[in-house]
Amino acid sequence: MSALNRLTITEARDLLRKGEVSAVALTEACLGAIQGAGKLNAFVHHTPDLALERAKAADARLASGDAPAMCGIPLGIKDLFCTQGVASQAASRILDGFKPQYESTVSAQLRDAGAVILGKLNMDEFAMGSSNETSVYGNAVNPWKVDARDLTPGGSSGGSAAAVAADLCLAATGTDTGGSIRQPAAFTGTVGIKPTYGRCSRWGIVAFASSLDQAGPMTKTVRDAAIMLEAMCGHDPKDSTSADLPVPDFEALLTGDIRGQKIGIPREYRMEGMPAEIEALWARGAEMLRDAGAEIVDISLPHTKYALPAYYVIAPAEASSNLARYDGVRYGHRAKLALGDGITQMYEKTRAEGFGHEVQRRVMIGTYVLSAGFYDAYYNRARKVRTLIKRDFEQAFATGIDAILTPATPSSAFGLGEMAEADPVQMYLNDVFTVTVNLAGLPGIAVPAGLDAQGLPLGLQLIGRPWEEAALLNTAQVLESAAGFVSKPEKWW
């Protein structure tokens, strides 16, 4: 029974429905795995009592025949999601001690579907980072290892990726503002999908950049992603950007047939200095899809080269507005004040102590680009570039392209501490293949497709038409099947 934590959602669901395994046994297996994986630092708030309570409720539901697909499935929840009565800190000191009296819409929908919440997962502070090194809890560690080096699990959903890859949970929630689901998935050999902006409610998710943030599942297989995504989606009147559209049965639409589809290969993604391994993997992915009956078409997305600078103007600008609410007055951390300090000193000291360096850096950038004299030069220009990037995708899809294939990351996982804080731009370049998807509001998925020369996972990204996650998942499953990626990290933790 100790191997139950290694099951996929699909396998566990089928065993639960047949009565061959219980939700309690599944949950206990995951709790045991979590207890033995402290070196990974993936889980930062543990809720074993709540997990077992929900597992018992799930078993009762299964016995009564009322069993949605996610019923009894043990999950980890990224610390960015507010969870009622459970610490929700966004990996920041400034939210120290914050236990919300409400539940985020996405985690509530998973709870209502019978899923079991094991605890909260590590992440970059306020989702600002690509390596999980900005967390107040300390960095999560990738379960994949090379030469005794600790590697990043990616960011910002690094704890989610590490937990799924190490079989500490069957799946996890993540959020993606510029690649924070897809990059960690690629670094850990897991699957991560960012749905179309508006497909999942943002209500109750601590905001980073409101026009870019989107929740999504991180799973072991594409089929699992389809099952979990359906439970997470749906219109939410509490989120003004939530789409009032029906949610398809994503799993039922996994036909495995992509014959006649057109897959675009954007020439602008062939970056100068791209590692030969990434180039070869990309070519192999295109060949796999061609062998499955798809037509491979070269396309142009001419404004791609402006995506990264535009993103790093828009996202910090929105962050500087969103993070202004953290002042130490109503909740979270408050600095100790000296005699004679006023409200201004309280704000300054609280934010200086409560926000980490990367968050402070982005708030400063955002405040600068929104300031008088620079608003038009930076922020407005970035918004115009965003429109052009979105138009590039629209024109490509208008020619009959069904999906676009690109690398997920410019490299495999790098060592923790290797990208110095002194050069944050080096870290930002990790998002080079993913930020366009957020700027255009499109769905994107990362699928593990091979190993590099060091034996570390490499992923490919598929980008789909808006609201066509079902077709995107189907193409991703074909790619997953052809790649045949079954490697797992050797247990060292």
Task: Name the active-site residue from 22, 78, 242, 412.
Answer: 78
Contact 127, 89 (CB under 8 A): no
Is 481 catalytic? The answer is no
Helix/strand/coil for 464: strand
Is 320 catalytic? The answer is no
Q: Can you point out the beta strands (E) in 343-431?
A: 403-407
Helix/strand/coil for 98: coil
Give how far Cα 396 sits from Cα of 265, 306, 393, 402, 436, Å. Answer: 10, 18, 5, 9, 14
Q: Tell me how far apart the alpha carbons of residues 87 and 460 are, in angstroms, rounded to a whole number.
A: 34
Q: Tell me how far apart the alpha carbons of residues 104 and 176 are, in angstroms, rounded to a whole number.
A: 16
Task: Name the active-site residue from 22, 130, 131, 156.
Answer: 156
Is 157 catalytic? The answer is no
Q: Is the peptide bond before 92 cis (omega within 30 degrees of 0)?
A: no
Widest CA span in the chain:
74
Task: Name the active-site residue from 92, 130, 180, 201.
Answer: 180
Contacts of 107 (CB under 8 A, 6+ apart): 77, 81, 82, 83, 117, 173, 204
CA dihedral 295, 188, 281, 450 (to 10 degrees): -100
Contact 360, 424 (CB under 8 A): no
Count CB neighbours of 186 within 10 A. Answer: 31
Q: Can you point out the beta strands (E) in 137-271?
A: 171-176, 191-194, 214-219, 262-266
Closest CA to 226 of 198, 256, 202: 256
Catalytic residue positions? 78, 156, 180
